[in-house]
């Protein structure tokens, strides 16, 4: 599916944001990733990785970001336990991450630029909206509640609730099914290559969203996705 522009429109000279706006009139639903896509939180997880691993006498490997990209919360816990030979159980590892992240999500993590305006537009247009995230359900509930965005989503699914995390298509297909729309009628917003591949594997058009944390992957993101935007204000 790499490089296949399933959602592209005629007139490629138009900015991607304008093309996305036009495509919305033809798509039945929109599905968002959460971290790095809707909320500016990826910086926080890098800090948590450093702090958590230091507790066990390890430095954060430079390849960790790419090694765990797209994994579900549970899959990431398994990776950490096996890779770093951690004595904690999987549940203890996950609970430690939850405890370390909850207050940061409540107090330090904002929505991405233009995201609220875009959510309001989708709601006003009657377009069903879902979240397909690799994060933990408890954390997702905290984020959507603290940012007061829960009412904008008809469906929220985590990769822990399906057979395989991203780049497998499972979580996106789950959300589309629960929204009662065909995959090819969905437009996905994602911030990293594994997520983009997940949406494409599900047969959906994908718009990549810029994020400081994945800035070094921008060329790859542009190549894999149908569209690329710096922020959601570009759609208007």
Q: pLDDT tens digits for the chain (236 residues)?
A: 344 444 444 444 679 999 999 999 999 999 999 999 999 998 899 999 999 999 999 999 999 989 999 899 999 999 999 999 999 999 999 999 999 999 899 999 999 999 999 999 999 999 999 999 999 999 999 999 999 999 999 999 999 999 999 999 999 999 999 999 999 999 999 999 999 999 999 999 999 999 999 999 999 999 999 999 999 999 99
SS3 content of the chain, % helix, strand, coil (to 5): 50, 10, 35
Q: Chain-centre distance of CA 34, in angstroms?
A: 4
Torsion of CA 56, 51, 75, 107, to 10 degrees: 150
Q: What's the whole-model pTM score?
A: 0.87
Contacts 24+ apart (CB under 8 A), 113-118: 113/231, 113/232, 113/233, 114/231, 114/232, 114/233, 114/234, 114/235, 114/236, 115/38, 115/39, 115/232, 116/149, 117/232, 117/233, 117/236, 118/232, 118/235
């Amino acid at each position: 599916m790499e490089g296949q522009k399933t959602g592209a429109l005629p007139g490629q000279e138009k900015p991607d944001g304008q093309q996305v706006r036009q495509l919305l009139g033809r798509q039945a639903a929109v599905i968002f990733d959460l971290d790095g896509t809707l909320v500016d939180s990826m910086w926080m997880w890098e800090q948590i990785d450093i702090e958590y691993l230091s507790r066990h006498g390890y430095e954060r490997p430079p390849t960790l970001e790419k090694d765990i990209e797209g994994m579900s919360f549970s899959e990431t816990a398994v990776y950490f336990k096996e890779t770093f030979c951690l004595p904690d159980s999987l549940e203890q590892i996950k609970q430690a991450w939850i405890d370390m992240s909850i207050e940061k999500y409540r107090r330090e993590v904002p929505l991405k630029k233009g995201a609220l305006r875009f959510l309001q537009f989708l709601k006003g247009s009657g377009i069903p909206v879902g979240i397909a995230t690799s994060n933990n359900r408890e954390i997702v509930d905290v984020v959507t509640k603290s940012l007061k965005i829960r009412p904008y989503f008809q469906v929220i699914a985590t990769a822990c609730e399906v057979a395989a995390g991203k780049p497998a298509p499972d979580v996106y297909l789950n959300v589309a099914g629960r929204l009662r729309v065909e995959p090819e009628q969905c437009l996905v917003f994602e911030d990293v290559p594994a997520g983009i591949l997940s949406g494409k594997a599900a047969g959906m058009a994908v718009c990549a969203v810029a994020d400081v944390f994945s800035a070094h992957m921008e060329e790859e993101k542009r190549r894999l996705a149908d569209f690329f935007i710096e922020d959601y204000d570009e759609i208007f």
